[in-house]
Amino acid sequence: MNKEVKKLIFALFLSLAAFSGWAGSAAAVEKAVVRDLVVANSSRDLLLYFQVGEIFRDDMEEGVLNGIPASLTFLVTLRELKNGRPGQPLAELTINHTLSYDALREAFRLNLSEVKGVQTCTSLDKARKMLSEVNGAQVVGLNILRPGGEYDLGVKVRLEGKSLPLSINYLAPFWQTGEHESDWYHVQFKY
Amino acid sequence: MSNSNIDQDSSRNILPRDLEKRRRIWLAILFCLFALPILTLLESRVFKVGAIPFPVSGNVLVFTVININVMLLLLMVFLVLRNVVQMIFERRQNFVGTKLRTKLVVSFVSLALVPTGLLFSVSLQFVSSSMDYWFNTRVEQSLQESLNIAKEVYEDARTQVRTKGLVIGKRLESRFDQPLVAVELEAFLSDISDSHELALELLSDQRVSLAQVSGPNFTEKQIPEIPPEMLRRVLEGEKDLVVIQAIEGGELVRSLTPVALAPNGGRDVLVTTLLLPRERLRSMEVISSGLEGYRQLMILKKPLKTSILVMLWVVTMLIIFSAVWFGLYVARGLTGPIAKLAEATRRVAEGELDFVLEKESGDEMGTLVDSFNQMTRDLQTGKRDLVEVNLALQASYQELEKRQRYTETILRNVGAGVISLDEKGMITSINRFAEELLKIDKSRMIGRHYKEVLRPDHKALLDGFFLELVRSGKAVVQHPVRLTLGDESFLLRVKFTQLKDEQGKRLGVVLVFDNLTELEKAQRMAAWREVARRIAHEVKNPLTPIQLSAQRLRKRYLERLADDGEVFDNCTQTIINQVDELKTLVSEFSSFARMPAVRKAPGDLGEVAREVLLFYREAHKNVEFEDRFDQAVPRFSFDREQIKRVLINLLDNAVAAVGPEGGKIGMTISFDSAEKAAFLEVWDNGPGVPEENKLRLFEPYFSTKKTGTGLGLAIASTIVADHDGYIRIRDNEPTGARFVIELPVGGVVRS
């Protein structure tokens, strides 16, 4: 066989393998969207409000209804802007929302880390809404902020992957865990 | 030719590149085989680690690792397939060893494929069936039924608490249509709660607790508040609202029932609470979690099947490709040396005998290589010897050929006829002299028996020789033989020799004959000349005195012997006349004996002939003379006077032959450019020459005429012979004689 043809075949083969890898990897990462990102304050604290869109897929719904909890982690960082550039993080906050279904009670249970207690509801839509919303999470105390200072608050959402009992998912390496995350979303404000 | 080695050739041109490439392929395949399990292990670690302390997403890392694994697997597949494609390509090109290699690989693959395929399909089927069996709908159904039963407990509790709430609410409405007294209310509710094991609470529309009692089973249980949302919904008119709240000891099933106790229609809410103890809930939760777990596994069923299928497939392919690779490896180990041997054989067949095939192993292949090398060495030695022998043979053959050509040249040019016969009497050779003399075609006689091709008289002659050889026991027999061939007569001296080799074995006979005809003629002519000279010399002298004496006698006594004078006169006159004749004869003899040497000069033969003919035409008016002279006869050198004398002699004979009555005499001159000879013919229509006289016609003193010396034709023959020509007598048609003179033209003289 012609040497050049061999090289071409080999290069094509490598490209396919790399491409499929990249495509697979790319396919695995779906972009969740953060909407209505609002920073407010109470008398003492900096409060955060936002919603997450396009995070809940049909297979997640099926998983939840079959007892596989869906868990969202919200990563929040606050940085002061100096000369227009964000500095070191002033505060880092991690918020966890977990949705599970109680087949016995036919009710959805939500554990929201920023709210005490377990929330229950019987409607999936309501549960989804509660899962993907953060209302009034305390980011940091107002005493940390410098009056007149400019700050950048970033939010990122990550849907944690599913895990199965007895670690059976290790037997199915092609079974997607469903983990995916969003980009960083920023809002800048002046105190 | 320098010693060459097929592997050295290979190594000079192929080994560094080809072996290096093969080594790299081997390393690549080995690397793949080792890297695959390591990377797979790494993948599993990545899953377990969870939060990965790497600056990249876990997703990307996992897929990268998977992809590397896949790539390595594909690389191995590629390498194996490459070898297979190469094998197919080489087979199409009919490279040596490809058929054997194909057979081995196909055998290995078949050996691996059949059980592997069988195992693959059986395993897959087994796993699939097992999973279908484990996750069949009946199991789910039974679990679901169990859950339904568990749910019924809740449902019962809901129904129970709802119903009781309604009943209690009605009783409250009927009992307390007056403004409420708290003590009475509590007492009423307390009775109910104790008897029904409930916890009751009456809330106003302002969420104020009007009364709250709880049964004995609620001791030390903290009853939480109703969620405001629920209260709001009830107050807005929603009915049959039941809330389940978890507490430490179990769960509270709470129904909210609107009641109208106030006379002005204000709405209150009766909260009826039933406790489901933890122990009871635990069983139900076990059922629920069991079903949950089962359903989770159901979700995994398909991907698990797929994963198992893929893993089985990967392992199967690995086994098959390993088999292919192993087959190729074993085949290469076998066909490599065979191919080298085949290549070496081809080169030996092409003549390259001086190389050595390198022995690579000590097994039977090595033995074969040794034998092959020995064979080529022997062949080379043999070839060398053959070459030497061939050269020697060629030299001998060339020498023999040279000698044969020399012998043939001698035979061709020898002035004697040579005819050879083998032991069986087959004619083996006839030289040119014999061919021309005997007027035979050599090609029709060579290889045939002499008895088949010779005339009876010639055959008898040869038989006589054979007989004499046998009888005498001599090796050589020699005789003069007179042969007549056509109209020519020859005297041949035949020497018949027996041929024998060194061992005395008879090889055949050789006949050598010299043509003595001309020699004999010349000898006769010389003898006759000598006789003529002697006669002339001896006779001439006494003639003059005799003639003078007779003349003197006549002169003295003729007149005295008047009466007897007549006798005297006759006698003396006779003496004188006879002496004159004798003198003429002697003169002719003397002339014959002292014939002058030929003095050639360029001339026109036709002119000479015309000159002579003119004279005869004038002299013999009763004879018709004819002439046909070819104008193509060139001028050539001849003795004009002598040729004229020949023509005169011939014409004299012709005139004598036709007689006094006359007749026809002709002369013809022609030229044969091929023979380079001029032919002069003189013919007459006389009686011709009898056969028995023809042989002696040209002898001196032979004449058929009454008068004449008989030397005319002898002189003509001598003159023609002196011109290196020939004179022959033939019969003329229809009658008469024809003398043919052949004179060589030689160098043509251009006028």
Q: What is the mean pLDDT of residues B104-119?
A: 83
Q: Could you tell me if B517 and B415 are in contact, meaning their C-beta atoms sit under 8 angstroms apart? A: no
The whole-angstrom separation of Cα B600 and Cα B647 is: 16
> Residues B505, B469: one domain?
yes
CATH code of B654's domain:
3.30.565.10
Residue A177 is given by DSSP the state -
What is the CB neighbour count within 10 angstroms for residue B31?
A: 13
Q: Is the pLDDT of residue B396 over 70?
A: yes
Whole-number Å distance between alpha carbons of B383 and B350: 13
Q: Which residue has the tokens 């568990």?
A: B150
Handedness of CA B601, B604, B609, B614 (dihedral sign): negative
Of B174-183, B329-338, B597-606, B643-652, which gets the smallest average pLDDT? B174-183
Burial class of residue B627 (count of CB atoms within 10 Å of its CB; 0-12, 13-18, 19+): middle
Q: Nearest 5°: CA angle at A47, between A45 and A51?
A: 170
Query: Is there a single domain that holds both residue B153 and residue B284?
Result: yes
Count of H-run helices and E-run strands, chain B = 18, 19
Triad B65, B70, B75: Cα angle to 5°: 125
State the complex-level ipTM. Answer: 0.72
Last residue of a domain, one of B289, B313, B335: B289
Distance CA A156, CA A183 (A): 6
Q: Could you write out the DSSP letters of every residue in B432-497?
A: HHHHHHHT--GGGTTTSBHHHHS-HHHHHHHHHHHHHHHHH--SEEEEEEEEEETTEEEEEEEEEE
pLDDT at B655: 92
Residue B5 has pLDDT above 50, yes or no: no
Mean pLDDT of the A34-58 span: 86
Share of chain B above pLDDT 90, in %: 16
> Per the domain annotation, does B395 fall within a domain?
no
Alpha carbon distance B646, B520 (integer Å)? 21
For residue B435, is it within any domain? yes
What token pair was written down for B113?
């494929």
Q: Which residues of B484-513 are buried (b: 16+ CB within 10 A; e: fewer)?
A: eeeeeebbbbbbbbbeeeeeeeeebbbbbb
Q: How many CB atoms lie within 10 A of CB B518?
A: 13
Tell me: the pLDDT tens digits for B415-427?
A: 888 999 999 999 9
* Interface touch A104/B58, C-beta < 8 Å: no
pLDDT at residue B66, as a whole number: 62
* Euclidean distance between CA atoms A93 and A116, whole angstroms: 17
Query: Which residue of A14, A25, A61 to mutate against B (max B Cβ within 10 Å)?
Result: A25
The one-letter amino acid code at B40 reads: T
Domain match, B570 and B643 both:
no
Q: What percent of chain B has pLDDT over 70?
A: 88
Asked, for residue B367, whether it belongs to a domain, the answer is no
For every residue of B543-606, which 3-state class applies, written as one string?
A: HHHHHHHHHHHHHHHCCCCCCCHHHHHHHHHHHHHHHHHHHHHHHHHHHHHCCCCCCCEEECHH
Compute the distance between CA of residue B514 and CA of residue B409 in angstroms, rounded to an integer.
18
pLDDT digits over B468-510, tens only? 888 988 889 988 888 777 666 778 889 999 998 899 898 999 9
* CB B731, CB B737: distance < 8 Å: yes
Please give the pLDDT value at position B265: 61
Cβ neighbours, 10 Å, residue B477: 19
Contacts of B80 (CB under 8 A, 6+ apart): B321, B324, B325, B328
Q: What percent of chain A has pLDDT over 70?
A: 75
Q: What does the alpha-carbon distance between residue B128 and residue B121 come to, in Å, rounded to a whole number?
A: 10
Give the CA count within 13 Å in the CB-facing half-sphere of B487: 15
- The winner for highest mean pLDDT among A40-54, A149-163, B519-533, B537-551 is A40-54
Q: Give chain B's length.
A: 751
Chain B: residues touching A (Cβ < 8 Å): 43-44, 47-48, 57-60, 63-64, 66-67, 70-71, 74, 78, 82, 85-86, 89, 147, 150-151, 154, 244, 246, 284-285, 287-289, 291-293, 295-300, 303-304, 306-307, 310
Judge residue B35's burial from the number of C-beta atoms within 10 Å of its C-beta, 0-12 exposed, 13-18 middle, 19 or more buried. Answer: middle
Q: Which of A14, A20, A66, A120 to mutate to test the interface with B (most CBs of B within 10 A)?
A: A66
For residues B580 and B644, state if they share a domain. Answer: no
B126 with B256, same domain? no
Position B640 in a domain: yes
Domain co-membership, B285 together with B307: no
Classify residue B309: in a domain, yes or no. yes
**A21 to chain B, minimum CA–CA distance in Å?**
5
- Whether residues B635 and B715 share a domain: the answer is yes
Instruction: Give yes or no for a contact between B491 and B516, defined as CB atoms under 8 angstroms apart.
Output: yes
Contact by Cβ (8 Å): B609, B640: no
Alpha helix stretches (DSSP H) within chain A: 3-28, 58-65, 124-131
Whole-angstrom distance, CA of residue A76 vs CA of residue A93: 5
Cβ contact B667:B654 at 8 Å: no
H or E segment and range at residue B57:
none
Tens digit of pLDDT for each residue in B675-693? 889 999 999 999 888 877 7
Of B74, B288, B298, the CB nearest to A13: B74
Nearest to A104 among B71, B82, B151 (CB): B151
Q: Is B283's pLDDT higher than 80? A: yes
**B116 plus B158 within the same structural domain:** no
Confidence of residue B1 (pLDDT cuts 50, 70, 90): very low
Separation CA B440–CA B453 (nearest Å) = 10
The residues, ordered by sequence, that sit 6+ positions from B401 with a Cβ below 8 Å of its Cβ are none
Q: Is the same domain home to B630 and B673? A: yes
Strands B4-5 and B355-356, how do they pair? parallel
- Alpha-carbon distance of B678 to B633, in angstroms, equals 7
Please tell me chain A's helix, strand, coil percentages from 3-state DSSP, rounded to the nearest 5: 25, 45, 30
CB contact under 8 A, A25 and B296: no
What's the whole-number mean pLDDT along residues B55-74?
A: 59
In a domain, B102, yes or no: yes
The rounded distance, in Å, linking the Cα atoms of B744 and B225 is 168
What's the Cα-to-Cα distance from A45 to each of A39, A49, A139, B527, rounded to whole Å? 11, 13, 7, 177
Backbone Cα Rg of chain A: 22
Q: Which residue has the higher pLDDT, B582 or B387?
A: B387
Kindly indicate the confidence band of residue B14, based on its pLDDT and cuts at 50, 70 and 90. very low
In a domain, B250, yes or no: yes
In Å, how far from its chain's centre is CA B515?
60
Neighbour count for residue B593 (Cβ, 10 Å):
20
- Taking 80 as the threshold, does the pLDDT of residue B377 lie above it? yes
Cβ atoms of residues B253 and B158 within 8 Å: yes
Half-sphere exposure of B549 (CA within 13 A, CB side): 8
List pLDDT tens digits, range A72-124: 899 999 999 988 888 888 889 999 999 988 888 888 999 999 888 788 888 88
The whole-angstrom distance between B273's CA and the closest CA on chain A is 16
CATH at residue B495? 3.30.450.20
Q: What is the pLDDT of residues B156-178, one digit of tens each?
A: 888 999 999 999 888 888 876 66
Q: Are residues B610 and B715 in the same domain?
A: yes
From B496, B515, B534, the end of a domain falls on B515
pLDDT of residue A29: 45
B750 within domain boundaries: no
The three-class DSSP label of residue B660 is: coil
- Structure-token match 């023959």, residue found: B717
| Strands B726-731 and B737-744, sheet pairing | antiparallel
Tell me the residue type at A24.
G
Question: Chain A contacts of B284, Cβ < 8 Å?
Answer: 104
Domain count, chain B: 5
Could A172 and B295 be called an inter-chain contact, meaning their C-beta atoms sit closer than 8 Å? no
Per the CB < 8 A criterion, the answer to whether B427 and B462 are in contact is no
Tell me if B70 and A21 make a contact (CB, 8 A cut-off). Answer: yes
Tokens representing A120?
């229950």
CA distances from B15 to A4, A70, B293, B331 (A): 21, 63, 63, 19
Nearest to B725 by CA among B676, B666, B652: B676
B285 and B299 co-located in one domain: no
The residue range of the domain holding B583 is 522-593
Interatomic CA distance for residues A187 and B376, integer angstroms:
91
What's the CA gap between B222 and B432, in Å, rounded?
156
Let me know whether B699 and B665 are in one domain: yes
Q: How far is B269 from chain A (nearest CA, A)?
A: 21
Contact A103 B147 (CB under 8 A): yes
Task: Inform me whether the pLDDT recorded for B46 exceeds 90.
Answer: no
Q: How many CB atoms lie within 10 A of CB A189?
A: 17
- Number of other CB atoms surrounding residue B607 within 10 Å: 12
Domain boundary among B593, B625, B650: B593
